[in-house]
Amino acid sequence: MADYLTAPKTSCLKENYLSVRAVTQSYAAPLSDADATVQSMEDASPAKWHLAHTSWFFETFLLKPMLPGYEVFDERYNFLFNSYYEAVGKRHARPRRGMITRPALDEVLAYRVHVDEAMERLIDQVDPAGYEDLYYLGLNHEEQHQELFLTDILHLFAQNPIRPAYRNPSPMEVSRPSEPRLTWHRFDGGIVKLGHAGEGFAFDSEGPQHEALVRPFEIAGRAVTSGEWTAFIEDGGYRNPMLWLSDGWAIVNERAWNAPLYWEETDNGWSLMTLRGFQPVDPDAPVSHISFYEADAFASWAAAQWDGARLPSEQEWEVAAAEIPVEGNFAGSRRLRPKPQTDEGLTGLYGDVWEWTSSPFTPYPGFKPAGGAVGEYNGKFMSGQMVLRGGSCATSDGHVRRSYRNFFHPDKRWQFSGLRLARDL
pLDDT of residue 231: 97
d(CA 339, CA 175): 9
Average model confidence (pLDDT) across the chain: 94
Distance of CA 72 to the CA centre of its chain: 30
Q: In which residue ranges of the chain is CATH 3.90.1580.10 found?
A: 184-424
Output the CA–CA distances (angstroms, integers) from residue 84 to 52, 53, 89, 287, 380, in the order listed. 14, 11, 9, 32, 10
Q: Show the CA angle centred on residue 23, arms to residues 19 and 28, nearest 5°.
A: 145
pLDDT of residue 179: 79
The CATH number given to 7-158 is: 1.20.120
pLDDT of residue 2: 39
Prediction pTM value: 0.95
Decide if 291 contacts 312 (C-beta within 8 A). no
What contacts 244, CB < 8 A, 6 or more positions away? Answer: 252, 293, 296, 297, 300
pLDDT of residue 380: 86
Decide if 414 contacts 151 (C-beta within 8 A). yes
Low-confidence ranges of the chain (pLDDT < 50): 1-5
Q: What is the pLDDT of residues 5-15, one digit of tens each?
A: 456 677 899 99
d(CA 320, CA 258): 32
Other CB atoms within 10 Å distance of the CB of residue 385: 17
Q: Are strands 190-194 and 184-187 parallel, antiparallel or unpaired?
A: unpaired
* Bridge partners of residue 269, in order along the sequence: 266
d(CA 191, CA 189): 7
Q: Are strands 217-220 and 210-214 parallel, antiparallel or unpaired?
A: unpaired
Q: In which residue ranges of the chain is CATH 1.20.120 found?
A: 7-158
What contacts 290, CB < 8 A, 6 or more positions away? Answer: 229, 260, 261, 298, 356, 413, 417, 418, 419
Does the structural domain 184-424 have CATH classification 3.90.1580.10? yes
Q: What is the pLDDT of residues 85-98, one digit of tens each?
A: 888 899 999 999 99
